[in-house]
Chain A
Amino acid sequence: MELPRYHRMRGTLYRLEGSACRKCAHRIFPPRPVCPRCKAQELEPMAFSGRGTLYSFTRVLQPPRGFTNLGTYSVGMVRLDEGPMVSAQIADADGTELQIGMPVEMVTRKLKDAEEHGFILYGYKFRPRLRAAGA
């Protein structure tokens, strides 16, 4: 990812900011300028809670270049409590038995830090929920 794009996406990457439609109350992640449901353009930014359930997952056994230091790792689809589906890496999954439907929560981790002279890309991942934090 290029630096200007990373900077533009910081709300989405750090705070899980998407959009909420003022007209039909549809919630969208990542943010969009037009509501895919009612086509309204009156959208406002919305920070999602970061809580959801694991919809599906798999394990990457041959990491691509830039991800080799992770060893093997898990990726998954998460259904956020507010509705939208998000694809992300599943963190802290080593030695954990992931299960469809298990509660997960958003954490901020390094997405990429491969180049000696490059910047560090921070963003969202999900992990099995620790406890009823915030409940």
Chain B
Amino acid sequence: MKTAAEVGIAGYGAYIPRPRIATRAIARAWGRDEGGRLPVREKSVPSPDEDTVTMAIEAARGAVARAGCDPGRIRAVWVGTESKPYAVKPGGTIVAEAIGATPWVSAADLEFACKAGSEAMQAALAFVGSGMAPYALAIGMDAAQSKPGDHLEFTAAAGGAAFLFGPPEEALARVEASTSYVTDTPDFFRKQHMHYPEHGHRFTGEPSYFTHSRGASRGLLEALGRRATDYRWAVFHQPNPKFMRRIAAEMGFTEAQIAPGAVVDHIGNTYSGASLLGLAGILDVAAEGDRIFFCSYGSGAGSDAFSLVVTRRLAEVRDRAPLVGDYIKRRQPIEDYGEYLRIARKVRLL
């Protein structure tokens, strides 16, 4: 898919909260083998005073700072998440208000499991590409939910990123094309009033993550007549280090191409935030002329793929906001599983 007019990413911002719990501590609490193979070493957890909205606000501020635009000209603030603080009451309005984009702005929260953030990117891209808006902000952010004791608890983390789409002359990366690939595949779900999502165990792999990531990636590469070697960098959705590397290798991308965006290795799976945070990590190191391949995945299921080209402006504005690496380095270890339960509010004080 291509927009009628050219569109670029004018700014981006990331966020990862400071607390970290070692996955060994989770294994110990549930009587699992601490010395056994765990998907990641530690994962990020929101502080008790943080949620998806506060994290989205910080990422959005980073995006606006890098773009250097008047926030009053942002015509959309869309937050993709599966951890809305309110079941009914938009979080997008709080973010829009905090960055000074209100009142002449469209705002909403989008839900598509882990693909909600890139869905917001597609919408923002179209909003700007159609000429309806000079700027539109897309955010993917999660305080990822996982049932205590479930194997998702070892990776479900917190964080995400924001991308401000705008005119091509202000772009730090131009959007070449995008694609979406969606089918009805019930591999992961949470009903209202359920605290934690359920997943389809082995069903989440081949018919879900791999089929859709492959579909969207191939679709975009074929539409552009490109191969993996035409790109300098690539990022895929990263529920764990293994899935991301398997699909990247299958599509022909090397470890060097995905390494700067492999945020999951350091902090775990940030659900709607994961692929966007990976893209932010790549923009932190990319240089003028670099091509970036991006492919998200969300259960339910589907993938969005984007092809981007970095401009000279990226290096000029990069230091206006913290880098993904700054947030990864900034960490506060959580001592034990009990403290984790308090911080993550998995125990309610009566």
Interface residues of A (CB under 8 A from B): 10, 14-15, 47, 68-71, 89, 91-92, 94-95, 107-111, 113, 120, 122, 125, 130-135
Contact = CB atoms under 8 A, between A and B. Distances in A.
A109 B54 contact: yes
Given A122-B94, A130-B326, A133-B320, A15 B51 contact: no
Interface string B127-165: 000000000000000000000000000000000000000
B32 interface: no
B246 interface: no
8 contacts: A70-B48, A109-B50, A111-B49, A113-B85, A120-B53, A120-B86, A122-B98, A130-B330
Contacts of A120: 51, 53, 85-86
Contacts of A94: 332
A35 B290 CA distance: 53
Contacts of A130: 322, 326, 330
Given A69-B345, A120-B53, 16 more contacts: A14-B94, A14-B97, A69-B342, A89-B49, A91-B49, A92-B18, A92-B332, A108-B98, A109-B47, A113-B51, A120-B51, A130-B322, A133-B321, A133-B322, A134-B321, A135-B319
A47 B49 CA distance: 23
A134 B319 CA distance: 7
A125 B49 CA distance: 10
Given A47-B100, A122-B94, A108 B57 contact: yes
B58 A108 contact: yes
A94 to B, nearest CB: 5
B63 interface: no
A100 B51 CA distance: 29
A109 B49 contact: yes
Given A92-B47, A133-B322, A122 B53 contact: yes
B171 interface: no
Nearest to A50: B61
Contacts of A91: 47, 49
Contacts of B48: 69-71
Interface in B298-350: 319-322, 326, 330, 332-333, 342, 345, 349
Given A15-B100, A110-B49, A130-B326, A95 B57 contact: no
A14 B50 contact: no
Nearest to A116: B348
Contact of B54 (A47, A89, A108, A135): A108
Interface of B: 18, 47-51, 53-54, 57-58, 62, 65, 85-86, 94, 97-98, 100, 319-322, 326, 330, 332-333, 342, 345, 349
Nearest to B102: A10
User: Among the interface residues A15, A92, A108, which one has the most CB atoms of the partner chain B within 10 A?
Assistant: A108
Contacts of A109: 47, 49-50, 54
User: Among the interface residues A10, A15, A47, A110, which one has the most CB atoms of the partner chain B within 10 A?
Assistant: A110
A108 B91 CA distance: 13
Contacts of B18: 92
A67 to B, nearest CB: 9
Contact of A110 (B50, B58, B320, B332): B50
Contacts of A89: 49
A134 B57 CA distance: 15
A24 to B, nearest CB: 26
Contacts of B47: 91-92, 109
A122 B319 contact: no
Nearest to A110: B49
A72 to B, nearest CB: 11
Nearest to A111: B49
A57 B51 CA distance: 25
A97 B238 CA distance: 35
B54 A131 contact: no
B345 A110 contact: no
A64 B330 CA distance: 29
Contacts of A14: 57, 94, 97-98
